[in-house]
Amino acid sequence: MILDIGEKVYIIERRYFPEDLRRHFIGEVIRCTEGRIRIKGHAWVFDSLKGQFTQRPEEREIVVHLGERITINVIPSQVNLSEVKYAATQKGQSITDGKKFSLDISEFMGVR
């Protein structure tokens, strides 16, 4: 498996249709096999009324089945995941810890 236990990840579930729920997950890998990874962290869901992503308050442990609808971005190990937030940029949208880490996610905001 290309991911290791302890790695931090940002997972995007791609939408097929505009009305599909926009769901992202930020967490740490706690177990992995060839086709699945178990992650502990927080779900983020797009709130269409507010026009922004909101973090679900409870920490979750999920199993992600790797496939065509999943994009996984590795987050640097020094990033504190509890500090990661969504931020509007001139290009569109990014996630950042407000320090050194920033990841442009604009390309994942549309329908694919």
pLDDT at 20: 67
pLDDT at 1: 65
The number of angstroms, rounded, from the C-alpha of 55 to the middle of its chain's C-alpha atoms is 11
pLDDT single digits (tens) 48-105? 777 778 889 899 999 998 877 888 999 999 999 999 999 888 878 889 999 999 999 8
Residue with the larger pLDDT of the pair 109 and 2 = 2
Whole-prediction pTM value? 0.84
**Domain range list for the chain:** 8-108
In the DSSP assignment, the letter for residue 68 is: T
Most confident listed range (23-37, 39-53, 93-107): 23-37
